[in-house]
Each structure stands twice: as C-alpha cells, then as structure tokens.
A and B are shown apart, each in its own frame.
Chain A
Amino acid sequence: MTDDKEAAGGRPEAIKAVPVRHPGRWLGGAVVLVLVAMFVHFLLTSKALEWSEQWKYLFSAPVLKGVRNTVWLTIAAMVGGVVLGIILALMRLSANPLLRGAAWGYLWFFRGTPLYTQLLIWGAIGTLFPTVGVGIPFGPEFATWKTQELVNAAIAASLGLILNEAAYMAEIVRAGILSVDEGQQEAASALGMSKMQTMRRIVLPQAMRVIVPPTGNESISMLKNTSLVAAVPYSELTFTAQTIYASTYKIIPMLVMACLWYLLISSVMMVGQYYLERYYSKGTSKGAEARQRLRFRGGGGGQ
C-alpha cells in the first residue's frame, strides 16, 4: 500500500489480511474450462459437422433466398404486429365495452391456440373461406375473388405471423400505456391537447420505455418463429436447409449452417435493440446524460 507515510501521521495502517479462500470457485472454473475445451475440440475435429459442406452452401443462392425470406417475414410480422397491437391495446383501454370485448376475444383466440396450428389453417385458408369479396354484410357483394388466388403462400405466412404477434404486442403496449402516470394525460388535457395528440405526443413516447425491451425479445422470438411457416408451406431459412439435405443427406451440416445464420441476424437485432432503448430513455437520468454527451461532442448543437 502507498499510505505507509500517512500511517505515521496518525492514520492507522491499511488493513492487510489474508483473503478468504474460495476453493469452490476454482473448482467450478476448472470444470467450465474443461467443458469449453471439450466443446472446441469437438467443433474442430467432429466429422459430422462437415464445415466444408456448410461453407459450400452458406452463401449459395437458395440459402440466401431463404435468409431473405426469413428477414422480411420477421420485419413484416413485427411491423404489422406492432401496428395491430397498438390498435388492439387502445381497444382494450377503450370506454366502449364492445370494443373492449372484441379485443379480448381476439386475444383469447390468438393466444389460446398454437402458432403452428394457426399457420396450418392459413395454409388451408382457401377451404375455410373459398372466396373473399367487398359488399354489404349479409347483403350483396360488389366484387368477389377466389381466396386461393388472392392469398399466396407469402401473404398467408405473413398474415399468420402478424395476427398472432398482434395479440402479444397488444398486451405489451397496454402495459406500457398503463405505466405512464395519469398526471401526464391530465397535464396534456389541461393544455387543450386532443386525445389523439396526447396519445401520440405524450403517452406513447413515454410508454415506449416500457414497450421497447419486451418488443426486442418478441422480435428475436419472431426471427425464430418464422421457421414455423413451413406449415403453410412457405420457404424460408430452415425450410431451405431441409430442402437441401433432403437431396444431399447432409442433415447436421445444413441445420448448423441455418443456426449460424439465425445467430448472425439475432446478434444484429440485439445491437439495434440497445440503441433503440437508449433513444427512448430520453429524459431519464441515464438517457439525458448520454444525450448531453452527444450534444457536446456534436459541437453544441441542439439550438
């Protein structure tokens, strides 16, 4: 220690004690190290993984197309799910009991049945609703289409994911809105802001702090749930991997390759989530500091 001199001047000597030994920690660390070594050894030497086979397909045209489909399905499902989820959340918070009841019924169905089963139904939607049309309910139709022609596999897959996701997003958005202090709406009302303005400018931006983290989780879940659209059937990453190993019989290499792609995309999403959370922490002590730093770095902008 450096304060031996101070000790002479009345301050007692700094404590030098024998630390408590933690043999358990050392043992646990050793076990983990051995397991990691075994795993790395397995990755490097296993014949089943066939890295060269994976490399051959990793950037092949069909795999890239599968990745593209997975990515756009995830984005479409989340964007659609969030928009429909906000509408459902507002319906659940509405003063109108019919709107509340309808939203509750929607949630009851879409959360109460498996996504896979819902997607199977979307695959057979033409049997459930042979035609779709525009007209007067229970009255004449002005225009009619065959469902089979209107709803192709891509539309069925994305609708299936959107409608399911909306049910979960509705609860997340509702929790977010309820988390905002009631005084905020009163203050906005007292200033003469309309209900819409209050919701859009005051309540939702604050609700976002509560909404964003679970929505990030939902997005990452969605990335993986897109693999279920094989039920429709619609071809995305996992389905593509299956198609390839159906002819090459390289089952494990293709599935591991699909995992690598999923890991890459979800990693990118986690980075995005970090920045989104930081953006919506505006005004909290943490967020404000971050913004102040940015402003100074940006040469005193903001004015």
Chain B
Amino acid sequence: MTDLSKGPAPESGGLMVKAEKVHKSFGRLEVLKGIDLEVRPGEVMCVVGPSGSGKSTFLRCINHLEKINAGRLWVNGHLVGYRESGGKLYELRDREVAAQRREIGMVFQRFNLFPHMTALENVMEAPCRVKKQPKAEVRERAVALLTRVGLGDKVHNYPSQLSGGQQQRVAIARALAMEPALMLFDEPTSALDPELVGEVLETMKQLALDGMTMVVVTHEMGFAREVGDSLVFMDGGVVVEEGTPREVLANPQHRRTQDFLSKVL
C-alpha cells in the first residue's frame, strides 16, 4: 500500500513471495539453511514438516517478525526488512517495517486476540489506528467480515466468551480487515479441540476460493490436498521436497518425506 509502491523490483518477477537462499540462526543454532521458494499471486502453499524443521520460523521471516541472517526475501516485489541501494543493504526503520507488514496478514497458532477488546474492536483496531480510516466505515466492514466468518452474532463478545474455533475465526477477520495481499497461517488449527478444527479450515477454504494468496504451515494433510496448490515439505531447515499436494502426498520421492508422511497419514 503506502510505502510499498516505490519502483519495480525485477528480481521477484511478479511473484507474491520469493525466497532466495534464506538463512536464519538463533545464536549458534541454524534453523533455516538456505530456503528457496516462490509463491505466485493467488496460490495457496501449504508447508508441512516435523516440529523443529523451521517451517514456522520461515513463515515469521516473511513478515519480518524474525530477521534473516543471509539470503534475500521479497514480498510483493519488495525486499523484506531492507532497502537495497548502490549494492548496499540498509535496514528499514520500524515505521517502514510496519508499513510493509500492513500488506501481510498473519494468523497465529494461539490466536493472540486482544483480550481486553470485543471481537468487533479486535477487527477494527488496526484499520482505525494504523490506516486511520473513518470509524463508521471500518465498523461496517468489520461487521461484514465477522459475518463472513460466521460470527455476525458474536461481534460484542470478548475473546474469553468465545470458543477456540470462534476466536481463530475472529483472528482471521482481524487480519483480513487490513486488506492484505498475502495471508500467513502459522499452524492455525493446532491449538484447537478436534471438533473445532473443521470450522476454521472451512473459513480458510472460502478465503482460498476467493483468490487470496496464502502460505499455510499446517499438519492438516486433508486441507493441503483439497485446498493447496502446492505443498512444501521441510525438514532440518531445508526444503526437502516440493510439488502439487497430490504428487507429494501420493508419491513422495524422498526418504525423509516418506518417513514423515507414514507417521501423519
């Protein structure tokens, strides 16, 4: 949106996300060891892998919640977290990073709704405070969004009065209220009771059908097969295998993928 319309970025060639040899370390522990990935606009990419494989970390690098140590990462044609000029990288200011994040919605495993605000206030907060849009307009849109995720009758409830599945759907509506170009899902159903998983996946499926570009870290292979355009299997900080969900799930090429899938399917 605002700051992101600065000039073309030929390196990312019309891609929504482009990762080039992305490395990330926490202290001496290298979590990402050179990730190369491309997400086209409108694509739904599911990322699977054992815990500790670096998939959540990679997702968090995409909206700069984690700083990468090496490589390059572009979102919507813009280098994430840095500005390149004259062959040198400059760190972006907090304000500029915040502006980049407005284009990217994120849904967390543990919802992270603001507990002191109602569902409606949660959804309205960012458009009102960050984009400074008029309150009446935002409210109308927020009610529409909450209705779209099936919570039109819960707008005045606080998160503590909602089930896990309802909270996660509010979180999705909250991210959508910023009208992002890309949505990131970090294991959105892992903290839910089994009977509540379906309603969240259904909401995500609707979103995919509406053409949203999505990167979904998940353990829901059924969702990946049904909704995903591509499936990425990560292990030990690298992308082991990548392809359409049907290919990868039905006919995994790598030993590690076969091992993992035999455990979860």
Q: What is the interface of chain A mostly: helix, strand, loop, or mixed?
A: helix
Q: Would you give the shortest CB distance from B217 to chain A, in whole angstroms?
A: 14
Q: Is the CB of B158 within 8 A of A189?
A: no
The answer to whether A194 and B125 touch across the interface, beta carbons within 8 angstroms, is: no
What does the 1/0 interface line of A179-200 toward B look like (CB < 8 Å)? 0010110111111111101000
A190 close to B158 (CB less than 8 A): no
Q: Check if A192 sits within 8 Å of B112, measured CB to CB.
A: no
Q: B115 and A283: CB pair below 8 A?
A: yes
Interface residues on B, range: 20 to 34
Q: Contact string, A266-303, partner B, CB cutoff 8 A, digits 1/0?
A: 00000000000000001111001000000100000010
Given contacts A282-B116, A283-B116, contact A190 B160 (CB under 8 A): no
Q: In the complex, what distance in Å separates the CA atom of A25 from the CA atom of B95?
A: 66
- Across-interface contacts of B216 in A (CB, < 8 A): none
Which one of B105, B129, B171 has the highest number of Cβ atoms from chain A below 10 Å of its Cβ? B129
Residues of B near A206 (CB, < 8 A) are 114-116
Q: Which of B144-162 contact A (CB under 8 A)?
A: 156, 158-161
Instruction: Report B83-99 residues with CB < 8 Å from chain A CB.
Output: 94-95, 98-99
**CA separation between A194 and B174, bound complex, in Å?**
17
Residue numbers in A under 8 Å from B65 (CB-CB): 186, 189-190
| Contact for B115 among A188, A189, A284, CB less than 8 A | A284
Distance of B76 from chain A, by nearest CB (Å)? 14
5 closest A-B pairs by beta carbon, nearest first, are: A187-B112, A192-B102, A191-B126, A183-B112, A190-B106
Residues of A close to B161: CB separation below 8 A:
285, 288
Residues of chain A within 8 A of B160, CB atoms compared = 283-285, 288
A183-B108, A283-B160 given; A193·B116 CB < 8 A: no
What residue in chain A is nearest B106 (Cβ atoms)? A190
How big is the A interface, by class?
20 to 34
CB of B138 closer than 8 Å to a CB of A: no
In the complex, the number of residue pairs spanning A and B with C-beta atoms less than 8 Å apart equals 78
CB distance from B183 to the nearest CB of A (A): 11
Q: Which residues of chain A are near B117, meaning CB under 8 Å?
A: 283
- Please name 6 pairs of A and B residues whose Cβ atoms are closer than 8 Å in the assembled complex, sorted by A: A187-B112, A190-B108, A192-B99, A192-B126, A194-B94, A282-B158
Bound form: Cα–Cα A192–B1 in Å: 12
Residues A192 and B130 in contact, CB atoms below 8 Å apart: yes
Does B94 lie within 8 Å of A190, measured CB to CB?
no
Output the nearest chain A residue to B65 by Cβ-Cβ distance: A186
Which residues of B lie under 8 Å from residue A288 when comparing CB positions? 158, 160-161
| B114 nearest CB neighbor, chain A only | A202
- Which B residues are closer than 8 A to A by beta carbons? 63, 65, 94-95, 98-99, 101-102, 104-106, 108, 110, 112-117, 125-126, 129-130, 156, 158-161, 171, 174-175, 178
Measured in the bound complex, the distance between the Cα atoms of B116 and A205 in whole Å is: 7
Measured between beta carbons, the chain B residues less than 8 angstroms from A191 are 101-102, 125-126, 130, 174-175, 178
Q: Contact between A183 and B110 (Cβ–Cβ < 8 Å)?
A: yes
Are A194 and B116 closer than 8 Å at their CB atoms?
Answer: no
Complexed CA–CA distance, A302 and B105 (Å): 28
Residue picked from B99, B110, B125, most chain A C-beta under 10 Å: B125
Q: Which partner residue on chain B sits nearest A193 by CB separation?
A: B130
CA distance A201 to B108 in the complex (A): 20
Chain B residues with CB under 8 A of A285: 160-161
The answer for the CA separation of A191 and B104 in the assembled complex, in Å, is: 8
Residues of B within 8 A of A283 (CB): 115-117, 158-160
Given contacts A283-B159, A288-B161, contact A193 B129 (CB under 8 A): yes
- Bound together, the chains give a CA A252 to CA B113 distance in angstroms of 57
Given the complex, which residues of A lie within 8 Å of B174, measured CB to CB?
191
* Distance in angstroms between the alpha carbons of A193 and B63 in the assembled complex: 13
In angstroms, Cα B114 to Cα A197, docked, is 13
